[in-house]
Amino acid sequence: MTLPADCKGATKSKLLQGSLDSVVVPVECTKAVIPYTDANFECAAFEWLIATNQPIWALQQEHYHTMIEIASRATDGVKIPSRKLTRQ
């Protein structure tokens, strides 16, 4: 085959290509639950320190430990108060 014939063949096959629209259905995205491991917690803690510009010793504060211990007992996730709610 020659190049022009190949191009015509490719164009023709594109026109005949089927669609998956009737087969594929949209799926609702859900937030992935990250399993607890010491490594995952350490990584999240370091990311929090960096993102919020906290000093390293913030992880050693008694109030931080208390907050984490309370949150660790939650059976269905933790509701974090909004900025507006904390200002009241």
Domain count, the chain: 1
pTM over 0.85: no
Q: What is the pLDDT of residue 33?
A: 82
Q: What is the mean pLDDT of each run of 10 residues along the chain (88 residues)?
A: 69 67 83 89 94 94 95 88 82
Inside any domain, residue 20? no
Contact 40, 33 (CB under 8 A): no
Structure tokens at 27: 């799926």
Find the DSSP H helices in 1-88.
3-16, 38-51, 62-72, 83-86
Domain range enclosing 42: 34-74
Measured distance CA(21)–CA(8) in Å, rounded: 26
Inside any domain, residue 59? yes
Measured distance CA(10)–CA(4) in Å, rounded: 10
Going by C-alpha positions, the residue among 53, 51, 50, 48 that lies closest to residue 67 is 48
What number of residues does the chain have? 88
Structure tokens at 45: 């803690």
